[in-house]
């Protein structure tokens, strides 16, 4: 399955469904890198209000091609995960629009790495 930048996948808990609920993840890495060793880098999304803080990037329905499954969703910008393509067990659930994705990447660059991530 092609894993494209900006795709949103629901990834199951790494140690099985008994350990916890699946979380949506927004793919940050580009297709070429994802295909190299069938891995991809994604940022975790949650709707938990307890974890909302300055490392949260608020996600709105308007930022995606389809409305979000849960309200009050936010990306946990410091929780970047490395996953295998085969960790995906269902089709993508959404795609983030280009402009808000650019804002997300700039925020991750600035607030997590103290670097300017600028698109080409």
Partner 1 sequence: MIALDYHSILGAQYKENREYKIVVSVYFVLRPFFLANRFLSRTNKKLVAYLLELKGTYVYLLENVEEIRNENLSLQIASIEETIKYIYAVQNDLEQHLVNPRSKALKATHDIIAEILEIMHDTLRLLKKNTLKQPVTAVSEEAKTAVSRSGKTMNRILYGR
Interface residue list for partner 1 (CB under 8 A): 11, 13-15, 20, 23, 37, 39, 44, 46, 48, 50-51, 53-54, 58, 60, 62-63, 76, 79-84, 87, 99-100, 103, 106-107, 110-111
Task: Note whether 94 and 64 are within 8 A (CB).
Answer: yes
Least distance in angstroms from the C-beta of 4 to partner 1: 19
Q: What is the CA radius of gyration of the chain?
A: 14
Least distance in angstroms from the C-beta of 104 to partner 1: 9
Task: Note whether 23 and 79 are within 8 A (CB).
Answer: no
Q: Name which of 4 and 107 has its Cβ closer to partner 1.
A: 107
Q: Name which of 33 and 100 has its Cβ closer to partner 1.
A: 100
Exposure of 7 by Cβ count < 10 A (0-12 exposed, 13-18 middle, 19+ buried)?
buried
Least distance in angstroms from the C-beta of 5 to partner 1: 18
* Full strand arrangement of the beta sheet holding 39-46: 56-58, 74-84, 39-46, 23-27, 7-11, 94-95
Least distance in angstroms from the C-beta of 49 to partner 1: 12
């Amino acid at each position: 399955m092609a894993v494209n930048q900006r795709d949103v996948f629901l990834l199951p808990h790494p140690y099985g469904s008994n350990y916890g609920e699946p979380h949506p993840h927004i793919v940050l890495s580009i297709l070429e890198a994802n295909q190299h060793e069938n891995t991809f880098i994604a940022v975790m999304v949650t709707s938990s209000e307890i974890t909302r803080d300055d490392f949260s990037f608020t996600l709105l329905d308007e930022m995606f091609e389809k409305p979000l499954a849960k309200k009050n969703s936010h990306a946990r910008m410091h929780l970047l995960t490395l996953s295998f393509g085969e960790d995906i067990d269902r089709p993508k659930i959404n795609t983030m629009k280009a402009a808000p994705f650019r804002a997300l990447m700039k925020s991750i660059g600035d607030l997590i790495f103290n670097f300017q991530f600028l698109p080409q």
